[in-house]
């Protein structure tokens, strides 16, 4: 698969690539991010901190070009390096890091299939702490249009049949049956969107399903050649759907960065409930 690397592959390539832990805490958890282990040689890719927009009121908002470029250089990443991103839950926030790199024009980035749980299951080497890079890299950020979209772009597309929004949250959050994990949020979903919980991307072993299985998920939802928008709670697991769609060859893809953290706030933005 073009966007994924196996733990077995990474174990053979550890000295030749940059490994980044892109794990985050789940919404509603106030404790700092402390993984159960760190993959040997990994550096920290802090989605919720160093790599989020400090001026934004919403969580995990994409930072600007200068901030991303400076952070990647501090991690010692060069223009022609290969980057592997992972998280501590198997696949939760790693695809967000992958999408962020892609949005900045960097192509040699891959998600570790199975993440830290798979790495530990295989008994592969871990470290006591993250690597602190001494050498500054020459990474150059080249922002790409429409990787991230805002609420106005989503609102404008609700009645557009050439655009389909897929929601990565759980089915019961989508229908409005379950409350949101963040305070003071409305329940339900964006009108005319469809539910595709991100867990459906994974098989029973916690690995990403085959391309044919992923394609079947999209086809079942009526996806043909529409432009696809992806939403979730805060723009993180939406990127799992974007990665799966890219794996299947869909090309008109955009992640709603604010996602339900923005849309679900008390406002005039329309909300639907039920299936």
Q: What is the mean pLDDT of the chain?
A: 97
Would 268 be classed as within a structural domain? no
Would 136 be classed as within a structural domain? no
pLDDT of residue 29: 84
Would 138 be classed as within a structural domain? no
Give the rounded distance of the alpha carbon of 134 from its chain centre. 28
Compute φ and ψ for 133, nearest 5 degrees: -80, 135
Catalytic residues: 232
Would 247 be classed as within a structural domain? yes
Specify whether 174 is located in the same domain as 103. Answer: no
Virtual torsion, Cα 146, 148, 150, 153, nearest 10 deg: 30
According to DSSP, the β-strands at 126-127 and 38-39 are antiparallel
Specify whether 170 is located in the same domain as 108. Answer: no
The 10 Å Cβ neighbour count of residue 226 is 16
Would 274 be classed as within a structural domain? no
The pLDDT tens digits of the residues spanning 146-177 come to 999 999 999 999 999 999 999 999 999 999 99
Total count of domains within the chain: 2
The 10 Å Cβ neighbour count of residue 102 is 19
Specify whether 33 is located in the same domain as 78. Answer: yes
% of the chain surpassing 90 pLDDT:
96
Eight-state DSSP code of residue 198: G
Specify whether 90 is located in the same domain as 166. Answer: no
Would 104 be classed as within a structural domain? yes
Specify whether 112 is located in the same domain as 153. Answer: no
Q: Residue 244 and residue 11: Cα distance in Å, rounded?
A: 24
Tell me the residue range of the domain where 104 lies: 4-127
**In DSSP terms, which residues pair with 52 in a beta bridge?**
62
Q: What is the CATH number of the domain that holds 40?
A: 3.40.250.10
Specify whether 116 is located in the same domain as 164. Answer: no
Specify whether 161 is located in the same domain as 244. Answer: yes
Q: From residue 184, how far is each of 177, 245, 246, 264, 266 by CA, in Å?
A: 15, 32, 34, 8, 8
Would 243 be classed as within a structural domain? yes
Would 135 be classed as within a structural domain? no
- DSSP-based three-state secondary structure for 241: helix
The pLDDT tens digits of the residues spanning 14-53 come to 999 999 999 999 887 889 999 999 999 999 999 999 999 9
Q: Give pTM, 2 decimals.
A: 0.98
pLDDT of residue 30: 85
Specify whether 196 is located in the same domain as 123. Answer: no
Q: Residue 238 and residue 259: Cα distance in Å, rounded?
A: 8
């Amino acid at each position: 698969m073009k966007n994924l690397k196996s733990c077995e592959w990474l174990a053979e390539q550890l000295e030749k690539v940059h490994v980044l832990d892109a794990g985050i805490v789940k919404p509603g958890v106030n404790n700092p991010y402390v993984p159960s282990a760190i993959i040997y040689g990994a550096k920290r890719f802090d989605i919720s901190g160093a790599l989020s927009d400090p001026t934004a009121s919403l969580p995990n908002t994409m930072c600007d070009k200068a901030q991303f470029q400076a952070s990647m250089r501090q991690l010692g990443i060069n223009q022609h390096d290969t980057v592997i991103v992972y998280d501590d839950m198997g696949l939760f926030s790693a695809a967000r890091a992958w999408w962020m790199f892609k949005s900045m024009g960097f192509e040699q980035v891959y998600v570790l299939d199975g993440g830290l749980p798979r790495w530990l299951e295989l008994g592969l080497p871990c470290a006591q702490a993250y690597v602190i890079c001494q050498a500054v890299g020459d990474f150059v950020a080249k922002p790409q249009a429409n990787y991230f979209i805002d609420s106005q772009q989503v609102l404008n597309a609700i009645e557009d049949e050439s655009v389909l929004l897929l929601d990565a949250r759980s089915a019961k959050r989508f229908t409005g049956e379950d409350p949101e994990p963040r305070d003071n949020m409305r329940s339900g979903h964006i009108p005319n969107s469809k539910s595709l919980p991100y867990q459906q991307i994974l098989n029973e072993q916690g690995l990403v399903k085959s391309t044919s299985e992923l394609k079947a998920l999209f086809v079942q939802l009526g996806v043909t050649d529409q432009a696809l928008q992806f939403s979730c709670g805060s723009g993180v697991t939406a990127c799992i759907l974007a990665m799966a769609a890219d794996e299947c060859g869909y090309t008109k893809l955009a992640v709603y960065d604010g996602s339900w953290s923005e849309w679900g706030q008390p406002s005039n933005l329309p909300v639907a409930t039920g299936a």
